[in-house]
Amino acid sequence: MSDRFFTATEQDRQTFQQTGCLLVRSLFDADEAAVLNDVARRDQQMERAATARADADGGRTVLAVRDDLSDDLFSTIARCRRVAGNAAFLLGEEVYHYHHKLMLKEPRVGGAWEWHQDYGYWYNYGCLAPDMISCYIAIDRATKANGCLQIIPGSHHLGRLDHGKVGGQTGADEERVNAILTRMPLEYAEMQPGDALFFHANVLHRSDQNTSEDPRWSFIVCFNARSNSPYKLIRHNAYQPLDIAKDEAILENFS
């Protein structure tokens, strides 16, 4: 294993436990980020799988979700040590691939995502605990103008909030979120291509509409703890051992 690839430290794990988040600059270098950008924009299978979700104001964000792993670039990223290995270390337990998704927020038309917790959805898919973690990877530069991710660090300690329909999405209880925002800070996760944010399934997060001329695409890998495999399978995956890929495979196999 090369030391040029990010490995989370005990201090990183403490940060994650306290805030529910860990922002890693250049988890993927410029060459790897360029490969991801190119493959994402040429992947016709993902494009065919994409669906649109409306926000409360009628904006549209497109996402393509995939449960299966194959030998493609997206699966290799999901399985690589930098992503899966660090996710397991931060969560403190063996993890498995729950699903992965490509998020497409196009210039001027990309919609917002309402405040929510991922476990606000996944609770309903048979997962008994919020022992789940996601790795959000920036494909394009993410800024306030093009609708970067907004997070409330530490909100995972509040437990799961009630969620209901907001536009075509499922969002957290608005009154409760507004009360939380009077007591806890909001942070904008502005990112460069290749940067990544690991975040806990109970961290409240959202994003604004893309009002800029720049796209904001991202790739998200979602993991579940082995001990938290759903008691009944409704959507996404039950536990199956994850074959960890070497970090070098991204450029060796896809550049």
Is 23 part of a structural domain of the chain?
A: no
Residue 124, domain member (yes or no): yes
**Residue 1 confidence (pLDDT):** 45
Tell me if 44 is assigned to some domain.
yes
3 inside domain:
no
pLDDT in tens, 183-234: 999 999 999 999 999 999 999 999 999 989 999 999 999 999 999 999 999 9
pLDDT at 17 over 70: yes
Report pLDDT digits (tens) over 170-189: 789 999 999 999 999 999 99
Percentage of the chain exceeding pLDDT 70: 91
Do the Cβ atoms of 140 and 215 come closer than 8 Å? yes
CA distance 133 to 84: 10
**Host domain of residue 40:** 28-254
State yes or no: pLDDT of 148 exceeds 70: yes
| Mean pLDDT over each residue of the chain, to the nearest integer | 92
Residue at 18 is within a domain: no
pTM of the shown model? 0.93
Q: What pLDDT does residue 58 have?
A: 61
**Neighbour tally for 38: CB within 10 Å:** 14
- pLDDT for position 169: 73
User: What is the Cα–Cα distance from 229 to 62, expressed in whole angstroms?
Assistant: 28
pLDDT in tens, 30-75: 999 999 999 999 886 666 666 766 655 666 677 899 999 999 999 9
What CA–CA distance (Å, rounded) separates 34 from 230? 36
Q: Is residue 80 part of a domain?
A: yes
Residue 111 lies in a domain: yes
Judge whether 9 lies within some domain: no
Q: How many domains does the chain divide into?
A: 1
In terms of pLDDT, which residue wins out, 63 or 133? 133
Hey, what are 255's tokens?
């550049």
Rounded to an integer, the average pLDDT of 100-106 is 91
Is the pLDDT at 111 greater than 80? The verdict is no
Name beta bridge partners: 23.
197
Give the CATH number, domain containing residue 110: 2.60.120.620
Give the C-alpha separation, 121 to 140, whole Å: 26
